[in-house]
Amino acid sequence: MARNLLKNPSGEEQLESWELTENGGSEWQVEDMPGSCGHDFCNDGVTKYFATSFELCLKRQVIDLLAEGYSPEDLDAQPAVHVEDWYSGRTDCGCTYEATVCLLDENQEVLQEFKPDAVTLDPDCDDCSWKQVSHTFTEYGPGLRFISFEHGGQDSKYWDGSFGVRVTGSTVTIEIDA
């Protein structure tokens, strides 16, 4: 099984390894699963999640693939790059979720981007339970050297505190044929 290239994907080390690109409102928080007005997660090994606030909160990691031990030859063969993320809302407050994942060349110019439409969760018409978003990059051309993974969101009622979208269990993997 391919290893997860993201460091600290579920908040076990608080916000370590993440660059906070937007840290609005009451700022990013790390909370224990399932949290207040929350849902249990499908994987018992995930015990924490990141919670956003009433203003936009985004966090990012840029993965240096050469530093992770991949060779230029392996990367230029365009191996499949798989990304997954999990998000949920609270049962008492709506929220929005967004994510952007980019494959980057040596100059950190975009080779290919995955940016799904922002998702709004409303507890009045949605159970706000944990949902997965995933994507596999293929046929992106030679030159892959970095991957940028950014996600987050905010609550939709502008409540003071960490009432926004929750994210956890993020993964970025590369399928190199052995």
Q: What is the DSSP string of 29-76?
A: EEEESS-TT----S-TT--EEEE--SS-EEEEEEEETTTTT--HHHHH
pLDDT one-digit tens code per residue, 69-127? 999 999 999 999 999 999 999 999 999 999 999 999 999 999 999 999 999 999 888 88
In a domain, 164, yes or no: yes
In a domain, 9, yes or no: no
CATH at 23: 2.60.120.260
In a domain, 94, yes or no: yes
In a domain, 26, yes or no: yes
In a domain, 12, yes or no: no
pLDDT one-digit tens code per residue, 154-172? 998 888 878 899 999 999 9
Domain tally, the chain: 1
In a domain, 7, yes or no: no
Containing structural domain, residue 65: 19-175
In a domain, 42, yes or no: yes
